[in-house]
Chains A and B, each alone.
Chain A
Amino acid sequence: MTGALLAIVSAIFFPGIILRVKSIAGGRKGPGILQAWKNILLLFRKSSVFSTTTSFIFRLAPAVYLATVLCALMLLPFPGMPSILGFEGDFILFAYLLALGKLMFILGAMDTGSSFEGMGANREALYSMFTEPAFFILFGTLALLSGHLSMQDIFSHFQFAGEFSLITGAIATYLLLQIAMIENSRMPVDDPRTHLELTMVHEVMILDYSGVDLALIQTGTNLKFVLYGGLIANLILPVKGGWLGTNVLLFLLVQAGFAAAIGLMESFRARKKLAKNPQFIVTLSSVALIAFILVLLLTRNLIR
């Protein structure tokens, strides 16, 4: 419960921090922290323009996208406390819920009949196909180390799995960070600031959305960020932290740090060549595989 609520709270300042960090790194003052949400609220009040090519799928997609992210939030645990509705194997549902959102999002883009949006949809499908294995191997590793299958138990037990949990935790944090960047179509694979439709992924898919539907999508995207930020916080934060308030503060701090890291990464990192993106994403799976073998080695003495 706490996890989901805190994630939603941190979503309020999350996009603002990214923007602010990027502006400061670029030598500008930048908008206020709440500007991103003000824009979204403005969109909610606006009317829409629809392409005549589109059908009910175009209108359904944003709602499903947001709904899947909201459902996934219910699976987000908080260090030392259960998630709202977690269960054994909940990370499988987590991944597949997000996949449902992605499918609808892809179809919504294809519904416009634009070649650019078809291109974006294609890339999104390809990238998410390559990202999912990394996520699953990562959770396989954590499950093996902790001996549990629900996110809450995995996170609370793996920290006590011995001295290996530190190195596994480090690799896992790195992986989750990168997966979050890819899933949200951010810097190494996609640049939200780009202005050429040919090279966009996420931005080109929402070209034809306007008004309420665009607002729904942007809300969903912001929530998706804090969803992954919450997972990272669960990895890092101590399970037994005495006073609950410390962990709450730390949770918010991790989210803010995550946002700042994204801002910094986007300011100082070049975007990859589009054709090289699949290779980059597959690398994540290999890193996850290394983590898995490492855990096997350390816990089971694979080489005797």
Chain B
Amino acid sequence: MEQIFIPAAVLGSFLILVVPGRLRYYYTLSLVLFVILVTSVPAFFQFFSPLADASAIPVSPIREVMTSTNWVFRGYLGELRFTLDPLSAFFILVTNFTVLTGILYSRGYLKAYAKTKNPAQLALHNFSYTWLHFSMLAVLTIRDGLSFLIAWELMAVSSFMLILFEAEKRATLKTAVNYLIQMHIGFVLLLFAFLLTEAGTGVMSFDALPAYFANHSNTGLFLLFFAGFAVKAGFIPFHTWLPEAHPAAPSHVSGVMSGVMIKMGIYGIFRVLVSVQSDWYTIGLVILIISAFTGLLGILFSIVQTDLKKILAYSTIENIGIIGLGMGLGCIGLALHKPVLAVLGFTGSLLHVLNHSLFKSLLFYASGSVYRATHTRNIEELGGLVHSLPRTAGLFLLGSSAICALPPLNGFISEFLLYTGFFKGLGAGNEYLSIVFLVVILTLTLIGGLAIFSFSRAFGISFLGTPRKVIPIQASAITRDMIFPQLLIAFMILGIGLMPLAAISPIASLVETRFRLGPISSGVFYGTSLNRISLFGLILISIVTLILYIRTLLLKNRKPEYGPTWGCGYTHATSRQQYTGTSFAENLAELAQPVLRDREEFRTISNEDIFPRTRSLHQHTSDIFGRGIGKLTDLSWYVLKKLARLQTGNIRHYVLYAFIFILLIFALLYLKLI
């Protein structure tokens, strides 16, 4: 099976480059669908194994495919092993869904480029898209260190190609190169981590980790892996590539990158975490602290952005923080031998991975539609889109409510699990741990409040009110095939919100087996809480419907009047007087000034200004970490420039260097230093 499938997929992807333009989309779609089908079926059976008993199916080649967990591909250079376990299976299912919605969405989104881009560029884009998909699947199933790193690198390169789609813009080019460099910093960290593993055990593989952790200190190697994966996942302070790269890429790519590609970092951390043997307490605390900062700062930065996709990108960082908080809770639960906490933490974390992949891709697609229709992403120029793009507005609102963790949607479920875990943990450890957990609860509530702040701003400013700038809006640019994948996601968001147990129970059983906790999740999850929450979802929806029905009945025979918005006596209000995104964020930006570093350029009126000239106000906010890294690169640039003097081009100088080097070696040998 695998001997045929892998070459077929690889060959098929190269054919994209030669398929005629009319068929390119359908060809890519069918290739992606084929790969999704072949990988999802075994993943499905692996993931839902407690629920879907494969032994009921008669023994046949079909069953073999469905339940195969080990693929060995024998090529000319050697063999490549793909191993499927419930953890990989979960991530594969998440990945496949978002990749599918991404490609469906891309059809309408890329139509506008048919005139400006030549066919080769579009073909290369589709080719890179399929390779991003392949490499993510490979990352999720390969255990061998070297092959894993190659797949990891392929993922970085293919996403680099995707970001580069609009390479004619200088900013995009710069961003993409920045992205590639940062990915390689992560790569080097991972390489070191794998080399350490090999030095300790003789095998360079994830499978060797339990042996390594059994004989060595756990914290060191784990943190090295964590740092390497954190660059991909976007934990602060490794996040600086993320808010640049997501907006630069086309929207379906941003959706896939933010929805699933950065989750490969989370997968990696989980993959290492299941092998860790001790030091849970330290590891848990470190993850908690980093994640709390990530969550809080991520959402704070998102509030001051004016680019719609940058708001979403920073909120991605926030959500990575929430995922990390769950991981930290799980580790501390293991350290305290409280399996309930561990199950709540890890399950909440993994469920949030799924949830975030849903609502974030939805939001990116919706903001892509806004960009398609208005050709701007600056919320200060938007406004009143709800009238021209009602469907996109509704979907964006749904995604926003879900990301703010509001009931009855899916985001609430995962945050509820985390909250419950932290509240349960308040009395579980010593007093200091109680304080840590309380601080985390404080962080989570602040994140929740800030998320509502950020998304009411993003939605309110861009979709409500009246347009702030006269922009021709092409509502027809948003075709039905752009809306359909978003509806698919919306359906999932509501589904998980109303039937949380369907998603939670397989995840919880995965957590139980992977972290050797014993069958306890049934006691944690099958109680009343989650059933009650889904009941409340239904009640809420029915009460809203009822009230709206009564309202319609009441208003049936009354004729409402229409008029302008109440201007407090002022009758000539213009749309420029509306609240803007910057003014909405201002009071918070002022309070959070040390982090946000709001910079204003404004010339005050002096006595000499008898006839005041035109005035302008510029407000800037910048990411302090981005600046820090900028300083670091400036410094290394300076050092390198100085070092470049050594490169004179004169052969005699080079001979001199060699001579000095030999002398140095002799001297060191003589002094017995080497």
* A and B interact: yes
Interface residue ranges, A against B (CB under 8 Å): 44, 46-57, 59-60, 63-64, 66-68, 70-71, 74, 85-90, 92-93, 95-97, 99-100, 102-103, 106-107, 110-119, 121-123, 125-126, 128-130, 132-133, 135-137, 139-140, 143-144, 147, 149, 197, 207-208, 211-213, 216, 278, 285, 289, 292-293, 296, 300, 302
* Given A96-B412, A118-B584, A208-B565: A55 in contact with B387 (beta carbons within 8 A): yes
Contacts of B457 in A (CB 8 A): 125
CB pair B547–A216 under 8 Å, yes or no, is: yes
Q: Would you call B630 an interface residue if the criterion is a C-beta within 8 Å of the partner chain's C-beta atoms?
A: no
Q: Would you call B401 an interface residue if the criterion is a C-beta within 8 Å of the partner chain's C-beta atoms?
A: yes
Task: Select B407's contact among A44, A96, A119, A302, beta carbons within 8 Å.
Answer: A96
Q: Would you call B146 an interface residue if the criterion is a C-beta within 8 Å of the partner chain's C-beta atoms?
A: no
Q: How far is the CA of A173 from the CA of B227 in the complex (A)?
A: 45
Q: How far is the CA of A90 from the CA of B412 in the complex (A)?
A: 12
Q: How far is the CA of A102 from the CA of B449 in the complex (A)?
A: 11
Q: How far is the CA of A110 from the CA of B448 in the complex (A)?
A: 20
Q: Would you call B211 an interface residue if the criterion is a C-beta within 8 Å of the partner chain's C-beta atoms?
A: no
Contacts of B575 in A (CB 8 A): 113
Q: How far is the CA of A197 from the CA of B570 in the complex (A)?
A: 12
Q: Would you call B543 an interface residue if the criterion is a C-beta within 8 Å of the partner chain's C-beta atoms?
A: yes
CB pair A296–B434 under 8 Å, yes or no, is: yes
Contacts of B68 in A (CB 8 A): none
Contacts of A88 in B (CB 8 A): 420, 527-529
CB pair A53–B466 under 8 Å, yes or no, is: yes
In the complex, the chain A residue whose C-beta lies closest to that of B549 is A63
In the complex, the chain A residue whose C-beta lies closest to that of B586 is A122
Q: Would you call B77 an interface residue if the criterion is a C-beta within 8 Å of the partner chain's C-beta atoms?
A: no
* Given A51-B564, A133-B442: A121 in contact with B407 (beta carbons within 8 A): no
Q: How far is the CA of A126 from the CA of B527 in the complex (A)?
A: 36
Interface residue ranges, B against A (CB under 8 Å): 383-384, 386-387, 390, 393, 397, 401, 404-407, 412, 416, 419-420, 423-424, 426-427, 430-431, 434-435, 438, 441-442, 444-446, 448-450, 452-453, 455-457, 459-461, 464-466, 527-529, 532-533, 535-536, 539-540, 543-544, 547-548, 551, 554-555, 558-568, 573, 575, 577-579, 583-584, 587-588, 591
* Given A107-B459, A133-B442, A216-B551: A144 in contact with B465 (beta carbons within 8 A): no
* Given A49-B560, A296-B435: A66 in contact with B547 (beta carbons within 8 A): yes
CB pair A125–B536 under 8 Å, yes or no, is: no
* Given A53-B466, A144-B427: A119 in contact with B441 (beta carbons within 8 A): no
CB pair A90–B532 under 8 Å, yes or no, is: yes
Contacts of B386 in A (CB 8 A): 55-57, 111
Task: Select A106's contact among B444, B456, B466, beta carbons within 8 Å.
Answer: B456
Q: How far is the CA of A147 from the CA of B424 in the complex (A)?
A: 8
Q: How far is the CA of A67 from the CA of B423 in the complex (A)?
A: 27
CB pair A126–B453 under 8 Å, yes or no, is: yes
Contacts of A67 in B (CB 8 A): 540, 543-544, 547
CB pair B449–A130 under 8 Å, yes or no, is: yes
Q: How far is the CA of A106 from the CA of B423 in the complex (A)?
A: 29
